[in-house]
Structure 1
Amino acid sequence: MNASRARLVLILIVVLISAALMYVLLTQRGEFRINQSIAEVRLEAEDGILSGNANVEHDESSTSKAEGYSGRGYVAIRNEGTITLTHHASRAGLYEAILGYNAANGPKNTFLTVNGVNTAEVTLKHDVAEGYQGFEEISIGNVFLHEGENTIVVNKGWGWFNLDYIILRPSTVKDGDHRVEKNLSNPNASREARALMNYLVDTYGKGIISGQTELINAAWIYSKTGKFPAILGLDMMDYSPTRVENGTKGKAVDEALEWGAKNGIVTIHWHWNAPKDLINHSEHPWWRGFYADATTYDFAYALANPDSEDYRVLIRDIDVISEQLKRLRDAKIPVLWRPLHEADGGWFWWGAKGPEPYKKLYRLLYDRMTNHHGLNNLIWVWNSEEPDWYPGDDVVDILSTDYYAPPGDYNPLSVKYEHLVQLRDDTKMVALAENGPIPDPDLLQAYRANWLYFVTWTGDYIQDGISNTPEHLQKVYGSDYVITRDKLPDNLYSYGLPDPTA
């Protein structure tokens, strides 16, 4: 062997060894999944077992006029029925499920049940050009498949859609650390807010922080499980001026002071009664004034006319709430502050004018509270899944959504989690700000749905024994993966910060 050939062989050996070492390193870091080499599979809907009035259609039989299907046809689901498919997986693991669908009748919601575990609902939208009757694709998120036989059920949901196929492909979800940094949007954030942010970032992906709305419910959970939730959720609603003038007296700040003094985490939202123009009759009484159908107040007009009375009362309300929040600032209690929640639903007045006025209002609220009132103890939690409603990285610290699964459905809501993670490229933590049934901690880990925290809603959602059964509550609050108040660090509000006296 001549010298040049020997050098070539030596270089080839070095390259192969380097590639092998890189593969081992990335595998250990979670960049490669064990099932990555498995090819995707397509399950044709017409090969499934159909129930109800779900039926196979094709060119000769079609009544829905869907075009461009694959295989022998597609399945039309109308007002009832399901499609049950089976798939033999060579390896257990997470797989992304993609639906090939047609929703020419308008947006429809549906969900899958995989081996008895539901996914969260997804909306099948008709996003292509007007008049197009073909099929589109949407990811329904990750599903966990066992090695061997798996059963996949496509549920009716809202009905009135067509399904051509389901694609299953190895998930690209990564193990390991997220890309979130320990920085807050407010450069003047208080020491306590920065410490809480440090703790949240360190916890993210390693466990889920438990939360519950209303102090009375937190006490009830303790009486049933022997554990307090780590987070207490409270509402500034009764401090709203148009409620106070009708006799309400807010107590949220008093309860937040009590909870914070016991080393708990506080999150606060605000069902903001409209600043003026409440309808106030039997069908739309004053106390429903945060709903869009209970007021004629036009905040878009107020924002466009800063010299108007409508603008003046808008600022008045923000100032009133800010004065209350200053009590928590002065007590050195940071707050996970979630204003203007569920705006994209349109049922609250602050979302009734669409995304652009909403974003202007959000940014006004941020500026007034942060720069005018000096509320540097606030960690700003944005509440939506819709990118068009996002007000900007400079005014958001945490992303969140609200979701109420059916009673007793403890699925990990992985599609919603993944959607939010992707929305800001995994640079913001993702939280479940309101929920009914609490996601099962075992499923959260299996699906790698790394929600930062959950906050269960009040009333029947926690106490009726149906939405969350006693057995499920015991499992959740007894899980090593779930962080309860007693598991929070004693130095929660100085966590990760240097000693100022040193």
Structure 2
Amino acid sequence: MVGTLKSLLCGAVALAIGAHAAPSCSAGNTARTFEAENAILSGTTVDTAQSGYTGTGYVTGFDQATDKVTFTVPSTTTRLYDLTIRVAAIYGDKRTTLILNNGASSEVFFAAGTTFVDVAAGQVLLNQGSNTIDLVNNWGWYLIDSITVKPSSPRPAHQINASPVNAAANSDAKALYKYLRSIYGKKILSGQQDLSWANWIAQQTGKTPALVSVDLMDYSPSRVERGTVGTSVEEAITHANRGGIVSVLWHWNAPTGLYDTDAHKWWSGFYTDATDFNVATALADTTNANYTLLIRDIDAIAVQLKRLQTAGVPVLFRPLHEAEGKWFWWGAQGAEPCKKLWGILYDRLTNYHGINNLLWVWNSLAADWYPGDATVDILAADVYAQGNGPMSTQYNQLIDLGKDKKLIAASEVGAAPLPDQLQAYEAHWLWFAVWGDTFINNESWNSLANLKTIYGSDYVLTLDEIQGWKTAA
């Protein structure tokens, strides 16, 4: 009788969605798999040349921007599901754009491999009835075999470390860490890159971001010697003095070897393709000239961080960001040199310079790039996906990376996340910080209506709502 009922249920689901992407039902129907060859194909084709697929084939041909496969997925109720994509990235590391019900998009990374594997793709909030899940080209040239959805379990309580990793952290850093722990999973801090854009948000919405992110880029010696004058420290102090929280990143212009051509100007010297500076060679020993220049640069930044320490400003410090992307020189030679540089940076600033107002933010997702728990307070991701979605794929990756013992932040985003989505997905980002010009002021990324919704939400903390945070926790 049970087997007959199961067959009837599976048949009813198949009839409900027609021939497209009919699911294979598992015991209890807890997990359902949808074969790509049965989905709706747009610019893509079915193939069987690669062994190891399930069903009758797989989908390939992702070579144009609009190429996609569309799965139709029914749900008897509105609920959250874990999504897995079975894929073969036989042509190298790839990414796909995932779009749920023609709304918010997210990006899923596929590591290079020679066989079909299951890749965790975060969560999807399926509506009662019929839903669509699009996998759109993005980096392209991968093979999609199937997707599987399984009802998500409630997120367990976080087990966040009680103290900063720096045992000598000063009272300001400890107070910030304590406050961040107290709100994690309950609220999200609104944030914006650059003070001027934070003030712009206040003009548009009537609310000022709780957090402002600034960049130490113009304090890099290879820029200073070409005439740049940094103002980020003053901007950080201004925001801190009005009761705000400060995040600091560093687009570290390469210490030397800038091409300075029409195609690659000197001021783009943090990019891999704008310099011949080789971090692995520089770190090969401590006596070569380029190693000396690395230390020179770190010491120059120490001067600016000490100014913030003297001013009583604790800092969410995010150096060597987006390393695994390899588009910045500090990641260009792979994980090991980057992790070594992180260790040098931490030791030099903390133990040599005695800078103790920093909470250290690591900003890459891949496990083999992670420098380790001992020098990281907060894990972060930079996510540029349209639709103001919850970015649950990256959030869950960071939960796994830090074993749910590290705070997690959306340190750079193109689109500010909608609070109802964050809560529905249990994506407990500690803060978000929208990038500046062409993103925060771009209707296709952040409509004014969405910004007003976000900044007016009880779930989103703004500057006026965090006053006295140093003593509130």
TM-score (norm 1): 0.85
Deviations 1:113-142 (A, max 9, x none): 2223344211233424xxxxx532112111
Moved over 6 A (4+): none
Distance 2:463 2:235 in 1: 16
Q: State the structure with more CA Rg.
A: 1
Alignment of 1:152-163 (within 5 A): 152-163=133-144
1:418 corresponds to: 396
* Residues 1:479 and 2:457 are matched in the alignment: yes
Alignment of 1:260-275 (within 5 A): 260-275=240-255
Greater mean deviation of Cα atoms: 109-118 or 332-341: 109-118
Q: Which residue of 2 aligns with 1:71?
A: 55
Aligned to 2:283, what secondary structure does the other structure show? helix
Residue 207 of structure 1, aligned match among 184, 187, 190: 187
Q: What's the CA shift for 1:229?
A: 0.3
Using the alignment, how far apart are the partners of 1:159 and 1:356 within structure 2? Answer: 28
Cα distance, 1:107 vs structure 2: 3.2
CA distance in 2, matches of 1:391, 1:124: 22
Give the stretch that moved more between structures: 275-284 or 213-222. 275-284
Residue of structure 1 in register with 2:199 after alignment: 219
**Partner amino acid for 1:494?**
T
**Identity across the alignment (%):** 45
Give the Å deviation of 1:44.
1.9
Post-superposition offset of 1:415 = 0.5
The answer for unaligned runs of 5 or more in structure 2 is 1-26
1:302-341 alignment runs, 5 A limit: 302-341=282-321
Please tell me the root mean square deviation across aligned C-alpha atoms, in Å.
Answer: 1.9
Counterpart-to-counterpart distance in 2, 1:56 and 1:303: 48
Query: Which of 400, 418, 421 is the matching residue for 1:443?
Result: 421
CA contact (8 A) 1:401 1:432 kept: yes
Partner amino acid, structure 2, of 1:242: S
Match of 1:55 in 2: 45
Q: After superposing the two structures, state which structure 1 stretch, 317-326 or 41-50, moved more.
A: 41-50
Q: CA deviation at 1:495?
A: 4.1
Does 2:470 align with 1:493? Answer: yes
State the distance in 2 between where 1:227 and 1:84 align: 39
Amino acid at match of 1:264: G
Q: 1:145 aligns with which of 122, 126, 137?
A: 126
Q: Is 1:429 aligned with 2:415?
A: no
Mapped partners of 2:77, 2:138: distance in 1? 30
How big is each residue's C-alpha offset from its partner over 1:344-385, in whole Å with a ceiling of 9 and x where there is no partner? 111212112211111111111111111111111000001100
Could you tell which deviates more after superposition, 473-482 or 73-82?
73-82
Q: Is the 8 A contact 1:196 1:495 kept in 2?
A: no
8 Å contact from structure 2 (residues 39, 72) kept in 1: yes
Counterpart CA distance in 1 for 2:336 and 2:137 is 34
TM-score, normalising length from structure 2? 0.90
Counterparts in 2 of 1:366 and 1:143: CA distance versus 1, 3 Å: same
Q: How far apart are residue 210 of structure 1 and its match? A: 0.8
Relative distance call for 1:442 and 1:308 in structure 2 (3 A) is same
Q: Structure 2: which amino acid aligns with 1:150?
A: N
1:345 to 321, 325, 330: 325
Question: Could you tell me which residue of structure 2 aligns to residue 378 of structure 1?
Answer: 358
1:116 aligned to 2:102? yes
**Residue deviations 1:256-281 (CA, integer Å, cap 9, x gap):** 11111111000011111122232223
SS in 2 for 1:480: coil
Amino acid at match of 2:60: A
The letter for the 1-side match of 2:46 is V
CA distance in 1, matches of 2:138, 2:271: 26
Rounded to whole Å, the distance in 2 between the matches of 1:163 and 1:480 is: 40
Q: Where does residue 462 of structure 1 map in the other structure?
A: 440
Task: Please give the secondary structure, in 1, of the residue aligned with 2:294.
Answer: helix
